[in-house]
Amino acid sequence: MKLNIEGLLVYFPYDYIYPEQYSYMLELKRTLDAKGHGVLEMPSGTGKTISLLSLIVAYQRAYPLEVTKLIYCSRTVPEIEKVVEELRKLMEYYSKEAGEKNNFLALALSSRKNLCVHPEVSSLRFGKEVDGKCHSLTASYIRAQRHSNPSLPSCRFYEEFDALGRQVPLPAGVYNLDDLKDFGRRKGWCPYYLARYSIVHANIIVYSYHYLLDPKIADLVSKELAKKSVVVFDEAHNIDNVCIDSMSVNITRRTLDRSQANVETLQSTILKIKETDAAKLKEEYRRLVEGLKEANVARETDIYMSNPVLPDEVLQEAVPGSIRTAEHFVGFMKRFLEYLKARLRIHHVVQESAPQFLKDISEKVCIDRKPLRFCAERLRSLLRTLEIADIADFSAITLISNFATLVSTYSKGFTIIIEPFEDRTPTIANPVLHFSCMDPSIAIKPVFERFQSVIITSGTLSPLDIYPRILDFHPVTTASFTMTLARTCLCPLVCNLRNPQHGAFWEGGEGPVIRNYGNLLLEMSAIVPDGIVAFFTSYIYMENIVASWYEQGILENVQRNKLIFIETPDAAETSMALEKYQEACENGRGAILLSVARGKVSEGIDFVHHFGRAVIMFGVPYVYTQSRILKARLEYLRDQFQIRENDFLTFDAMRHAAQCVGRAIRGKTDYGLMIFADKRYARADKRGKLPRWIQEHLTDGSLNLTIDETVQLSKHFLRQMAQPFKQEDQLGLSLLTLEQLQSEEMLQKIAQIAHQV
């Protein structure tokens, strides 16, 4: 279908369109027109991705000079692949309708683990191993060494790519990860480096958040991306945590020990090199005097995206003299390590700010702020000079140097917490230094500053105003879209079970609550067909409940109705349980999956159609509030952004709850129950923080229900939903043809779908 979105011709690769998709595109177009950022919430299963892609591709075609590139960031590898497949569909539609092949280059980029075709390297199991092995074959100095000693192992894919791959750009087309691998195998080129090279001139890139948000990776991969790009963060409801994680550092005694070993290796290598090739070190010294001018020039001329770990001041100056020679630097690092070790030898918890830490370090071991700031850069240079093959071995010292740079660069937004032991096990000494980022805007700031439009979108972003605040940006559009429905295919119910006290669990005072939970599950297992997913607030809590249920014989009774599968901390085990769960839903036996909010299942797995006919959320998934890091963050939010502690905690709990229950509805033909088994959900402050598309269906009649009432309502709902549902039922209401879309009346209705904030 060809749409006219405020004068822009948009090709939409389907025969029908949902009204909210049209509305979404409208808002998106306005955002792009204004060259600003946007926050858009649209329910999952309403074709968000295809709307985004259709509009932005159309925009790129219409105004090739305004928007040169689309950078689409998603969270998981399957998500990335899905996006590329949708894009392929769109491109096929283009070539079918327009007749001509358009010369768009679109590709997915992922880590080496997912792209490597080298037979040995790719057989390694963990991403880190693959990276390390790849590095040991392809690092520049290794390849230089090979000139003198051809017997060294090499990666023929990389060599081939290096020799030929850069001459001709990747032919236009849509490349998913497997396509890249196929192409790489055919040509004998390394797909990973090919993809990394090609993203510079590709029209559309699809990759994961980390490539933009994690400064360590972004600096390698994304810094040369054009300014006139549109960046989309899909499934962005957790984006603040991604930002924070990418900037936070934890240092344990083990890290320090390994760093110590690293430093010793460095020292001996330096000695060796000094005897054989002193010129090399001299050359490095000269380079360091020159400073990081090149990078600075590039950044100023707007070629590079800035890197929060590489602050501007560092670029303008030369590396300070005290750490310029290799030996001096190693000595410096040793001193720093000793200081950290001393700090970890404490018996009580210490919390301090970055300036306090710097003051202390300068008093105790006379380390200034300035050389600390250059630590990360200096170490990188040294590792390069010393031609160290396996960078993975040096992860500990790299971590320490990154910490040094960060702690000396940011006086605000970070906190240092040193804990001598874990709270749960006060007798076992396990000192940890948390250098914790509290301000997600630090990591994402370069993205907002560099790129013309940044779109943050997800199925659950409510309350919408909080994201611009915590990420510190000013969107031009903030909108939430409802799901137009021909039949109410979601049924949120709030069951009035008492909330359990977390601590009281151990004293056994939770019996009745747990029994009630169990009864609810048992009742639901008898009436809901196929799959039920139940979420608990934490893993330990789930373990205990499962044990009590087992003792009380509840699980036995549930087993009469359905098979039971349970998420475990082990990802592989859970994957297997998930697959079996789906198998059991598929063959008609029906199954229950017990899972954890904030867990991997709740974040990454969809339960479409019969895989999830009901979701039960036991309790409100508050984050573990006793953690000092969280407390520090809450304090920071209160001081900096005027967000009250409770508001943030509730917001955080509700976004996870919404994520969990939203797993079951993945489209308008889908249907599912959403049972909130905790009476606190009925309160206005919780209810109001659910996404609008769920809130709308949460009537007063569905609040504060007893278990029996819940079962009755569910039965009724399921019976209704089991009736045949055809396309004609939707047409004109939640599904539009082109003619229907163009009618005046419909356009007015559509205007109401978008709810501006």
**Within positions 297 to 316, which residues make up the interface with other proteins, using CB under 8 A?**
none
Please report whether residue 77 would count as binding other proteins according to CB under 8 A.
Answer: yes
**CA distance linking residue 728 with residue 643, whole number of Å:** 47
Q: Are 165 and 194 in contact (CB under 8 A)?
A: yes
Q: Which stretch binds other proteins (CB under 8 A): 73-81, 155-163, 271-279, 351-359?
A: 73-81
CA-angle at 215, arms to 213 and 220, nearest 5°:
105
What does the CA dihedral 609, 612, 613, 616 come to, rounded to 10 degrees? -160
Please report whether residue 478 would count as binding other proteins according to CB under 8 A.
Answer: no
With 0-12 / 13-18 / 19 or more C-beta atoms within 10 angstroms meaning exposed / middle / buried, residue 224 is exposed
- Which residues between 175 and 214 bind other proteins (CB under 8 A)? 178, 181, 207-208, 210-211, 214
Q: Shortest Cβ distance from residue 609 to other proteins (Å)?
A: 10
CA–chain centroid gap for 450, Å, is: 20
Please report whether residue 625 would count as binding other proteins according to CB under 8 A.
Answer: no
Tell me which of 578, 597, 698, 754 binds other proteins, using CB under 8 A. Answer: 578
Q: Shortest Cβ distance from residue 150 to other proteins (Å)?
A: 27
Tell me which of 154, 296, 356, 568 binds other proteins, using CB under 8 A. Answer: 568
Q: Which stretch binds other proteins (CB under 8 A): 43-51, 270-278, 527-535, 642-650?
A: 43-51
Cβ neighbours around 585 below 10 Å, total: 24
Please report whether residue 562 would count as binding other proteins according to CB under 8 A.
Answer: yes
CA–chain centroid gap for 617, Å, is: 23
Please report whether residue 509 would count as binding other proteins according to CB under 8 A.
Answer: no
Q: Shortest Cβ distance from residue 600 to other proteins (Å)?
A: 5
Q: Shortest Cβ distance from residue 256 to other proteins (Å)?
A: 11
Please report whether residue 447 would count as binding other proteins according to CB under 8 A.
Answer: no
- Which residues between 531 and 560 bind other proteins (CB under 8 A)? 540, 543-544, 546-547, 550-551, 553, 555-557, 559-560
- Which residues between 120 and 139 bind other proteins (CB under 8 A)? 122-123, 125, 127-128
Each residue of 520-533: b (16+ CB within 10 Å) or e? bbbbbbebbebbbb
Q: Shortest Cβ distance from residue 341 to other proteins (Å)?
A: 16
Each residue of 633-643: b (16+ CB within 10 Å) or e? bbebbeebeeb
The closest alpha carbon to 573, from 584, 565, 563, belongs to: 565
Q: Shortest Cβ distance from residue 399 to other proteins (Å)?
A: 4
Tell me which of 442, 566, 665, 721 binds other proteins, using CB under 8 A. Answer: 566
Please report whether residue 688 would count as binding other proteins according to CB under 8 A.
Answer: no
> What's the token pair of residue 688?
């109001």
Q: Shortest Cβ distance from residue 100 to other proteins (Å)?
A: 24
Name the CA radius of gyration of the chain, rounded.
Answer: 28
Please report whether residue 391 would count as binding other proteins according to CB under 8 A.
Answer: no
Tell me which of 496, 574, 595, 710 binds other proteins, using CB under 8 A. Answer: 574
Three-state SS string over 279-348 comes to: HHHHHHHHHHHHCCHHHHHHHHCCCCCCECCECHHHHHCCCCHHHCCHHHHHHHHHHHHHHHHHHHCCCC
Please, which residue, 293 or 412, has the CB nearer to other proteins?
A: 412
Cβ neighbours around 181 below 10 Å, total: 19
Note every long-range contact of 432-435, with CB atoms under 8 Å and residues 24 or more positions apart, other chains counting: 432/250, 432/251, 432/252, 432/344, 433/250, 433/251, 433/252, 433/340, 433/343, 433/344, 434/248, 434/249, 434/250, 434/628, 434/629, 435/248, 435/249, 435/250, 435/251, 435/403, 435/406, 435/407
**Cα atoms found within 13 Å of the Cα of residue 536, Cβ hemisphere only:** 21
Tell me which of 7, 99, 119, 153 binds other proteins, using CB under 8 A. Answer: 119
- Which residues between 401 and 430 bind other proteins (CB under 8 A)? 422, 424-425, 428, 430
- Which residues between 252 and 281 bind other proteins (CB under 8 A)? 252, 255
Site string for other proteins, 626-645 (x = CB under 8 A): ---x----------------
Name 213's Cβ contacts closer than 8 Å, sequence gap at least 6. Answer: 239, 242, 243, 246, 443, 444, 447
Tell me which of 573, 635, 639, 708 binds other proteins, using CB under 8 A. Answer: 573
Q: Shortest Cβ distance from residue 230 to other proteins (Å)?
A: 21
- Which residues between 14 and 33 bind other proteins (CB under 8 A)? 14-18
Please report whether residue 526 would count as binding other proteins according to CB under 8 A.
Answer: no
Please, which residue, 152 or 432, has the CB nearer to other proteins?
A: 432
Residue count of the chain: 757
Cβ neighbours around 66 below 10 Å, total: 15
Q: Shortest Cβ distance from residue 673 to other proteins (Å)?
A: 21
Please, which residue, 408 or 710, has the CB nearer to other proteins?
A: 408
> What's the token pair of residue 130?
């693959």
- Which residues between 318 and 357 bind other proteins (CB under 8 A)? none
Please report whether residue 646 would count as binding other proteins according to CB under 8 A.
Answer: no
Please report whether residue 236 would count as binding other proteins according to CB under 8 A.
Answer: no
